[in-house]
Amino acid sequence: MADAVATDASLVDDPEISSEYRTVNGVRLHVVTAGDKDDPPVVLLHGFPEFWYGWHRSIEPLVEAGYRVLVPDQRGYNRSEKPEDTRAYRASELSGDIVGLIASTERDSAHVVGHDWGAAIAWDVSLRHPDSVDRLGILNVTHPVVFKQTLTSNPRQMLKSWYVFFFQIPWMPEWFHRRGNFRPLVWGLRSSKPGTFTETDLDRYRAAWDRERGVTGMVNWYRALFQHPEDPPRERVEAPTLVIWGERDTYLLSKMAPESIEYCEDGRLERIPEGTHWVHHEHPK
C-alpha cells in the first residue's frame, strides 16, 4: 500500500506546497514546506500515529497569514529516516531534529506548534533550547513535569495511559497494530468526532504506517521514553505559550491543562468544549 498511495506533499494538490528532504542532527527528514522563504518560520509537529498530513488543513491559512511553514515527518515516521536503536529516539535527539530544522531556514528561531507527541517535543524544545522558540503552540499535551507527576500519582491517568506500558514489550505492539489492516490505529483516530477522518484520510494513514519499519519507528518513541528518559534542564517556559485543549480528550485528564500553564512565564489556555484529542482536525480554524 505504501507505494500505491502517496504520502508526500502531492496529497494537498497545491503546487506551492512541496516535499523536501533535509539532513539535520544526523538524520534525514522528509519535510513539507510552503510560503515565502523570507517570511517568519512556523514548524508544525505531528504526534502519534500521524505524519505531516495531520496538519494539512493548517498549511495554506498560515501561508496566507504571512508565514513560512515547515511540517516534518518526525524521525521514525512515514518518509523520514527510522533509526533502529531506541536511543536515537531520546528527547534530546528529537528536539535536536527540530532545532536543526529551524537552523536550516537560516533563522535562529521559529514559532513551534505541536500536537500529541509533537507537542511533547515542542515543550522539550522550549525547555532545552529556549532561544530557538519565538512562540509556542501546544495542542492536547501537558507540560512534562505535570504529566510525570500525574502519571505516577493518579490512577485514572495511569489507566488512560495503559498503552504506554504495553508499547515497552518487544515486537508485540508492532504485531498488534498491523493486524486487521491497522485496525487498532484506525480505532484511535476514530475516537474523534464522527466523520473527522474520511476513508480517504485513513487510506493515507495506512500507507504511511505500511512503510518499512513504519510502526516500529513510531513505537520506539514510547520505548525511549522509559528506557532512556531525559529531563530537560529547566522547568519554566520563557516563550509566550498558547495551550489549546479539547475537553473531550480520552487519553489525558483535562485538569493537567491549567496546571501546565503554571509553568509558563506568559501562558494562555483556550478550551474547546466539543473537541477531542484530535482537536486540530475537528476545529482547524
Q: Is 203 considered catalytic here?
A: no
Q: Is 116 a known active-site residue?
A: yes
Catalytic residue among 53, 89, 205, 222: 222
First-last CA distance in the chain? 32
**What would the grid cell of residue 105 be?**
531556514
Give the largest CA-CA distance in the chain: 50
Amino acid found at 214: G
Q: Is the pTM of this model over 0.95?
A: yes
Q: What's the confidence (pLDDT) of residue 3?
A: 54
**Of 46, 56, 129, 277, catalytic:** 277
Cα(118)–Cα(220) distance, rounded to whole angstroms? 14
* Residue pLDDT, tens place only, 162-214: 999 999 999 999 999 999 999 999 999 999 999 999 999 999 999 999 999 99
For residue 220, give the nearest of 152, 278, 168 by alpha carbon.
168
Helix (H) or strand (E) holding 267, with range, is strand 267-272
For residue 114, which amino acid is it?
G
Residues 6+ apart with CB under 8 A from 141: 47, 114, 115, 116, 117, 119, 120, 123, 147, 252
Q: Does residue 122 have a pLDDT over 50?
A: yes
